[in-house]
Structure 1
Amino acid sequence: MKPIVTLTINPTIDLATTVAEVTPEHKLRCEPERRDPGGGGLNAARVIRELGGESLALYPRGGSTGDLLEQLLEQKGLRRWPIVISGHTRENFTVAEKKSGREFRFVMPGPTLSEKEWQACLESLSTVAADADYIVASGSLAPGVPVDFYARVARVARKQNARLVLDTSGEPLRAALEEGVFFAKPNRKEFRDMMGTQVDDPAALAAAARSFLEQGRAELLVVSKGADGALLTTREGQFSATPPPVETHSSVGAGDSFVGGMTFGLASGLSPQEAFRWGIASGTAALLSAGTDLCRRADVERLLTQVQPVRLA
């Protein structure tokens, strides 16, 4: 397997901690925190490596928090290609409330990238993906990055004959789909907003997904439905799968784990249906990990036997 190139244009340091109860005004005494490198592409790269694949992570980083991000990625053993920027890498944090079991997730906007900085990311992508079969572009855009950035990434992928896996939302997703991607993974709400139609009914969702693929903007489409699983649509058919029941410790990174798991499967030569199983198992396995940790291979392999996609009529 060739290294899977991942692009994270707005990486973060994910901090997670636990408190007894979230209340206003009072000091909230936290338990010991954990820090992990985060952002869609970096999370996917971590999962690909955990599952036994090779990844090469491309991302901007800056300031003292950028130095910490570099240390954390070194500890994870990831191959990487950082682009130094003038701003400070952002930090997001998640607080788990023991009393209720709820998670509170606080997401920062990130540093503003100059045109020179985001252009450097595109130019570096052309270099690092010169021999890549797959590029995973995932996550929100940093301030200052144009809304058509992922569309530009799609053009780079096409020029390099690489398959682009895209996981984002809103206008950046729409703009990229106009260029065409290999594999897109919106959630149900994002897909509904993109298609401008109701998709809450399973039959309506399946019909809308088939209509989307007929437009030629992607070869594979996965619409995630949270606890209800996901719908895979290919030119050969549609498959629905539900996740095995597990005790959820944290939902942070579950979607990114799905992307990393399914891309790992595709890059390993599996059919889309079999790779879909790896995605479901990886996303579900992430729920078993605390805080900002992601899936573990042993959990993925155990859950994989419980994932059986159903072909729709």
Structure 2
Amino acid sequence: MKSIATLTMNPTIDVSYDVAKVRHTHKMRTDNEWYAPGGGGINVARVFVRLGGNARCFYLSGGSTGPALDGLIDLHQLVRTRIAITGPTRIASAVLEHETGKEYRFTPAGPTVSEDEWTTCLDALAQTDAGIVVLSGSLPPGVPDDFYARAMDRLAARGVELVLDSSGPALAHAITRGGLLLVKPSQGELQQYAGQPIDGHAAIAKTAMAIVEAGKAQLVAVTMGHEGAILARAQGPVFLPALPIEAASAVGAGDSFVAAMVFALARGDDAIAAFRLALAAGSAAVLRAGTGLAHPADIQRLLDTIGQPIAL
């Protein structure tokens, strides 16, 4: 089993509450208050470790809220490398309204990061001894769009396998740089990358396969929410339909998907087995409201209901 490291440039303190009804102006009493360390890479590490792997979190942390994030990461017993910044760590909120069953999510942009701070992060990450590095999440203000591509340059020189889950210009720069083991865009992120509408499974598969055929990534997993997911690989694209479950939350589904797929690849599973485990984990993450992410028992139960993917 290969160990992994994850990088989270824009982590969060994830707060979730339940409320009877959302109303403007009025003070709304909440219950089921929950705090968790969040952000793409941290979420990936949480699920990866639950599945039985070893992960180190590299992340930025600062301001008066930084120590709270550090403490939450320690509560989850994650190995961590903290890069200190001046700006305060952001706090994201998810509010479940009981009356409608709808979830409301509020996510700030994050602190502005200086050049000295993001350069220090690159230097720290370049020292990792992990076999796989997962670059996951948005880039905060002040960090250049090609930051992940720069990190990939440093890591590839050490023979590290690279996984990417991001969006917008950061995703585009990293794909252009290439050399990825896995990239996991959502359908919307892939469409933004392509710069044109992508409708239907065949079009999604064709766009994802173009990345594989250009040698930019060995695997491209495109998540499509309630429609399922498509995996592009050298042998051709395949599709798995979504499981018939009622989603209570969307928090961490993509991160859980990435964590499980990387876990399977790290232990030597083939791409199809990894894809099936990933779909089970992404589905498990939405079973409960809040920031709990996927749990192994739910993943295994759902995995037992997933058939073999359909060739496209």
Alpha-carbon displacement from aligned partner over 1:102-155 (angstroms, at most 9, x marks no partner): 111000111111111111111001112xx3221101000011111110111111
Structure 2 runs not aligned, ≥5 long: none
CA distance in 1, matches of 2:295, 2:150: 33
| 1:73 is the counterpart of 2:73 | yes
Match for residue 184 of structure 1?
Answer: 183
CA distance in 1, matches of 2:86, 2:252: 27
1:271 aligns with 2:270: yes
- The residue that corresponds to 2:216 in the other structure is 217
Question: 2: CA distance between counterparts of 1:279 and 1:156?
Answer: 28
Does the aligned pair in 1 maintain the 2:272–2:309 contact within 8 Å? no
Aligned: 1:14 with 2:10: no
The alignment partner of 2:215 has SS state of: coil
Contact 2:3-2:266 at 8 Å conserved across structures: no
Kindly indicate whether residue 134 of structure 2 is the aligned counterpart of residue 155 of structure 1: no
Q: Secondary structure at the match of 2:64?
A: helix
Equivalent position SS for 1:31: strand
For 1:134, the equivalent position in structure 2 comes to: 132
Q: Which residue of 2 aligns with 1:110?
A: 110
> How far apart in 2 are the matches of 1:86 and 1:198?
40
Matched residues in 2 for 1:197 and 1:274: separation? Answer: 31
Residues 1:293 and 2:292 aligned together:
yes
Residue 11 of structure 1, CA deviation = 0.5
Which one of 169, 172, 179 corresponds to residue 171 of structure 1? Answer: 169
CA contact (8 A) 1:22 1:97 kept: yes
Asked if the contact 1:183–1:218 (Cα under 8 Å) also holds between the matched residues in 2, the reply is yes
Q: Normalising by structure 1, what TM-score?
A: 0.96
C-alpha distance after superposition, 1:172-226 (max 9, x if no partner):
1101111112211111111112123432222222222222321221111011100
Q: Give how far 1:52 is off.
A: 0.7
Contact 2:229-2:239 at 8 Å conserved across structures: yes
Aligned-partner residue type, residue 94 of structure 1: A
Q: Which whole-Å deviations, capped at 9, do the CAs of 1:232-275 have from their partners, x for residues lacking one?
A: 01001222112322232221101100001100010010001101
Letter paired with 1:47: V
User: Are 2:267 and 1:261 equivalent residues in the alignment?
Assistant: no
Q: Is the 8 A contact 1:110 1:142 kept in 2?
A: yes
1-side partners of 2:43 and 2:134: how far apart? 11
Equivalent residue number for residue 305 of structure 1: 304
| Shift in Å, 1:302 | 1.1
SS at match of 2:17: strand
1:176-255 to 2 correspondence within 5 Å?
176-180=174-178, 181-255=180-254
Shift of residue 231, structure 1, vs aligned partner: 0.2
- State the 1:162 CA deviation: 1.1
Matched to 1:217, the amino acid is K
Distance 1:167 1:143 in 2: 18
Deviations 1:38-94 (A, max 9, x none): 000000000000111110100011123111111111111111111111111110001
Following TM superposition, the consecutive aligned residue runs of length 4 or more in structure 1 with deviations greater than 3 angstroms are none
Secondary structure in 1 matching 2:31? coil
> Runs of 5+ in structure 1 lacking a partner?
none
Contact 1:41 1:136 in 2 (8 A): yes
Tell whether the 8 Å contact from 1:51 to 1:297 is kept in structure 2 after alignment. Answer: yes
Is the 2:2–2:267 contact (alpha carbons within 8 Å) kept by the matching residues of 1?
Answer: no
Counterpart AA for 1:76: H
What fraction of aligned residue pairs are identical, expressed as a percent? 44
